[in-house]
Amino acid sequence: MTVVLIKNLGEHVGEEVEIRGWLYNIRSSGKISFLIMRDGTGLVQGVLVKKEVSEELAALVGTLTQESSLILRGIVRVEERSVGGYEIQVTGMELVSGAEEYPITHKEHGVDFLAERRHLWLRTPRQNAIMRIRSEIEHAIREFFYQRDFVLADAPIITPAACEGTTTLFELDYHGEKAFLSQSGQLYNEAAAMALGRIYCFGPTFRAEKSKTRRHLMEFWMIEAEMAYFNMDDNIQLQEEMIHYVIQRVLERCKRELKTLERDVSKLEKITLPFPRISYTEAVEILKKEGVDFTWGDDFGAPHETIISNYFDAPVFVHRYPAVIKAFYMKPDPENSEVVLGADLLAPEGYGEIIGGGQRIDDLKLLEKRIAEHNLPQEAFDWYLDLRRYGSVPHSGFGLGIERTVAWLCGLEHIRETIPFPRMLHKMYP
Ligand code: 4AD
Ligand code: MG
């Protein structure tokens, strides 16, 4: 008998097939039982008429509990009214393993209760949809870069130096030496770009953020690209093409998941290229126009980003931030050294910054000066300075936070649902 995934049932109408999964729900009314099965790819209802099956099987059905693992056999029928559009006329069944009383029932549960049981929460249709969209986003990005001849150059996780400031470092003991979990693969990406031209890395990054927000994780995944001979505009154009590609892929291939999440897809469908671009100074003007008391030179907080992004239907690039609020490696604008050639991409609908990036300082002397000004240890950056000693070129890059992108595309309230096992302030169980 053919073993079939629930999502592919449509290809087997009229055939007797085998489904391997778990019992999501069961309803019985005397002579007939309705078993909703899940296998990770979808849900399907099995209909079991007691007098049509063996006594043994009829007895087994009465003992089944939610989340018992089951192998179900039966004939596939079209049934518009049924979940997924198909139904299985049950002919046979095998209990693989019974389940104890399952804590996550079909009634509403509080989010803290669910978060404590994240390992089980993942089994619900909503979480399933989110994880599938996350997977699609990751695949789409890899494909985008592959099509453009970028090399995937993985960056290390254990690092001797800070990339994004010293206040959010997770420190560890590296055989007696002080080391840190990587905040960003960027510095290594720059080395790889000088070796390979156009590269990206994709891995977990770590920030000991003291803030408990809907947008911050202690451990998150970042796609970071770095391109030799790219200026700031080349960089921005690549980013918008990547984001646009990802949106199309998700709209095309995750229709069912977006529907499960009740995502208003019209908001994603209307996003076209190019994305708007405004300077930090123009963004400050928007804030002032909206009556926000804001001083030029301060960094934007989440509420500011929301006000700015609400001005646009598409993601918006905010470029040329004041140098004082940005990282040490950002190249000053030749036309105004108070600002840098960096740009953040703010997602619409209040999802905030999803990309940080910019052009890097390529001059050795200036970079040495910045490292000193930021009180960073020169020795730890000596290898990085080699990149400016031996054939320095203009170059740019960026980092996209996967979880914030998932939150936006799925339309989620909170970042905790965007990753299988979130690491949040004071929360790392399970
Ligand atoms: O803006 P950030 O700090 O930029 C960098 O790390 C650069 N070195 C990247 C580069 O140019 N190669 O972080 C980039 C993105 C943010 O825009 C955001 O989407 C995400 O990473 N991010 C976080 N996501 C979840 N939780 C956190 N604590 C995050 N911090 C940053
Ligand atoms: Mg940033």
Q: For position 126, what pLDDT does the model report? A: 97
Q: For position 156, what pLDDT does the model report? A: 98
pTM: 0.97
Of 213, 220, 226, the one to substitute when testing ligand 1's pocket (max ligand atoms within 8 A of C-beta) is: 220
For residues 1-24, give the mean pLDDT: 97
Work out the pLDDT band at 165, boundaries 50, 70, 90: confident
Ligand 1 centre to CA of 304 (Å) is 18
The environment of the single-atom ion ligand 2, i.e. residues with CB closer than 5 A, is: 356
Per-residue three-class SS string for the chain: CEECCHHHHHHHCCCEEEEEEEEEEEEEECCEEEEEEECCCCEEEEEEEHHHCCHHHHHHHHHCCCCCEEEEEEEEEECCCCHHHEEEEEEEEEEEECCCCCCCCCCCCCHHHHHHCHHHHCCCHHHHHHHHHHHHHHHHHHHHHHHCCCEECCCCCEECCCCCCHHHCCEEEECCEEEEECCCCHHHHHHHHHHHCEEEEEEEEECCCCCCCCCCCCEEEEEEEEEECCCHHHHHHHHHHHHHHHHHHHHHHCHHHHHHCCCCCHHHHCCCCCCCEEEHHHHHHHHHHCCCCCCECECCCHHHHHHHHCCCCCCEEEECCEHHHCCCCECEECCEEEEECEEEEEECCCCEEEEEEEEECCCHHHHHHHHHHCCCCCHHHHHHHHHHHCCCCCEEEEEEEHHHHHHHHHCCCCHHHCCCCCCECCECCC
| Ligand 1, atom nearest to 354 Cα | 19
Work out the pLDDT band at 166, boundaries 50, 70, 90: confident
- CB within 8 A of 330, min separation 6: which ones? 323, 340, 341, 342, 358, 359, 360, 361
How far is C-alpha 427 from the chain's CA centre? 19
Work out the pLDDT band at 391, boundaries 50, 70, 90: very high
Chain-wide mean pLDDT for the chain?
97
Question: Is the CB of residue 321 less than 8 Å from the CB of residue 340?
Answer: yes
Work out the pLDDT band at 353, boundaries 50, 70, 90: very high
Residues within 6 Å of ligand 1 by CB: 163-164, 184, 186, 207, 209, 216-217, 220, 222, 224, 353-357, 397-399, 401, 403-404
164, pLDDT greater than 90:
no
Proximal ligand: closest to the CA of 207: 1
Ligand 1 centre to CA of 28 (Å) is 51
Of 210, 345, 404, the one to substitute when testing ligand 1's pocket (max ligand atoms within 8 A of C-beta) is: 404
Per residue in 191-250, pLDDT tens?
Answer: 999 999 999 999 999 999 988 899 999 999 999 999 999 999 999 999 999 999 999 999
Q: For position 51, what pLDDT does the model report? A: 92
Ligand 1 atom 11: residue of nearest CA? 398
Per residue in 275-333, pLDDT tens?
Answer: 999 999 999 999 999 999 999 999 999 999 999 999 999 999 999 999 999 999 999 99
Work out the pLDDT band at 10, boundaries 50, 70, 90: very high
Q: For position 161, what pLDDT does the model report? A: 84
